[in-house]
Chains A and B, each alone.
Chain A
């Protein structure tokens, strides 16, 4: 039994799987996008626990060294997983750009129709760079200003 030889490897795999499950539980990653990786890690874990599987499969496919077979398969699967990520990322980028453009165009149309001049000075960045608390307070103050003013004028 080869179990003794690969126990460190098995622990490493378990740690990675545990980390991934933790991320899933906290909803930091979606199951849809991590399922392939999760299955891949499970596969590696199986090999770590039952290394004889690799020997037999490797010999079947003409590899003289089981480790070479193992690495070749690993690299191949990782390349495919990465490719999938790149495709998803590119699609997301295209969508984000299109949505941002639409938002800008719709906002411009709204401003023109309502006749209100643009007033947000770097709205997207100021909150990130400046003091978040003071920015929020300012925003809330601005927001409550308007109904109070309109209320006063109507009475």
Chain B
């Protein structure tokens, strides 16, 4: 392991697909955050088969860049980063969207929650906290989010206010779990159920999110039905699996 003046080293995983406009400033902001919270921050951009200059922009901004030769989707990209963090012995990994929705200055809140006692394995940044500042998403998305919240609570016993949030911190136990198995598409709610099934400690902190600065969301209206159905069944499967064995098996 590399010697560091800080007690903690965090790998910031930025999955990016054609985000050449927003990834540069994001990496610069992330690097500026390093050391601020007593945490050494190492940003890694997972270029999920971009056709633009995402990789070059990210490398020029000073990030580590993992170029996936083929597009894997968000789940495969995030897992690549989590694998890297697990193998290189990082204290934790933080997933942050490459489109600029998640402001890096909110990282401190995640780290503070991670230092709490008992140490959480998964810290989820929620935009539906007490103060309700910043970007709150559309009515339809909030409706879908409400359904997912209900499914997660009723089936998997996870109390989450923002199950689709992709702004989250993974502790060592979460890294060990997700390094082995991670959902491929629409992974956020399902991974919460998986974490719960594996007996991980999940906690939430309110964070302020911004509307996306560039690019388009991966969730489009005509796919919403598939999304809701798939995630609901996946959560139920996760619960059934955990009843049979405590640790989901990698395929």
Contacts and interface: CB of A to CB of B under 8 A. Distances in A.
Interface of A: 90-91, 93-94, 96-97, 100-101, 103-105, 107-108, 111-112, 117-126, 129
B46 A121 contact: no
Given A105-B84, A121-B53, A100 B79 contact: no
Q: What does DSSP make chain A's interface, helix, strand, loop or mixed?
A: helix
A125 B184 contact: no
Contacts, number: 74
A108 B85 CA distance: 13
Nearest to B46: A104
B223 to A, nearest CB: 19
B184 A97 contact: yes
Given A90-B251, A121-B53, A101 B80 contact: yes
Contacts of B136: none
Interface residues of B, number: 29
B65 A108 contact: yes
Contacts of A125: 49, 51
Interface of B: 44, 46, 49-53, 55-56, 59-60, 64-72, 76, 79-80, 83-84, 87, 184, 250-251
B49 A107 contact: no
Contact of A101 (B55, B60, B76): B76
Given A91-B251, A100-B76, A105-B80, A118 B67 contact: yes
A-B pairs with lowest CB-CB distance, top 6: A122-B51, A94-B251, A104-B68, A101-B80, A104-B66, A108-B66
Given A105-B87, A108-B67, 9 more contacts: A100-B76, A101-B83, A103-B69, A104-B80, A111-B65, A117-B56, A121-B53, A121-B56, A125-B49
